[in-house]
Amino acid sequence: MSGQMNVDVLVVGSGAAGLSAAVTAALGGASVLVAEKESVIGGTSAWSGGWLWIPRNPLAREEGIEEEPGAPLAYLRHEMDGEPADARLLAFLQYGPEMIDFFRRRTA
């Protein structure tokens, strides 16, 4: 590819984070270009199978998997040797299920 291209958003990498950013920007009306150095799309997410752990998400609930509201935070605190939850961790627990729902509703 040669020449110049103008886009609103340039996403470097086509892993889970990159493609999530690209889809979100495009749904918001931006013109988007995803640049990937490998010959296949997916980045390291392709190697991992793209698995995510998003507790209390709508897909799990539809399959009858109901976690107690405090269970994910208790698990993470245990794994973090009792470290207090910071704003990022609490945001992950709050917005992770919303993110799953967003992509499920807005993508194929």
C-alpha span between 9 and 74 (Å, rounded): 38
Question: Shortest CA distance to 37 belongs to which of 6, 57, 13?
Answer: 13
What local confidence, expressed as pLDDT, does residue 32 receive? 99
pTM over 0.85: no
Write out the E strands in 1-108.
9-12, 32-35
pLDDT under 70: residue ranges of the chain: 1
Cβ burial of 14 (10 Å; 0-12, 13-18, 19+) is buried
In this structure, what are the phi and psi dihedrals at residue 72, rounded to the nearest 5 degrees?
Answer: -60, -40
What local confidence, expressed as pLDDT, does residue 1 receive? 58
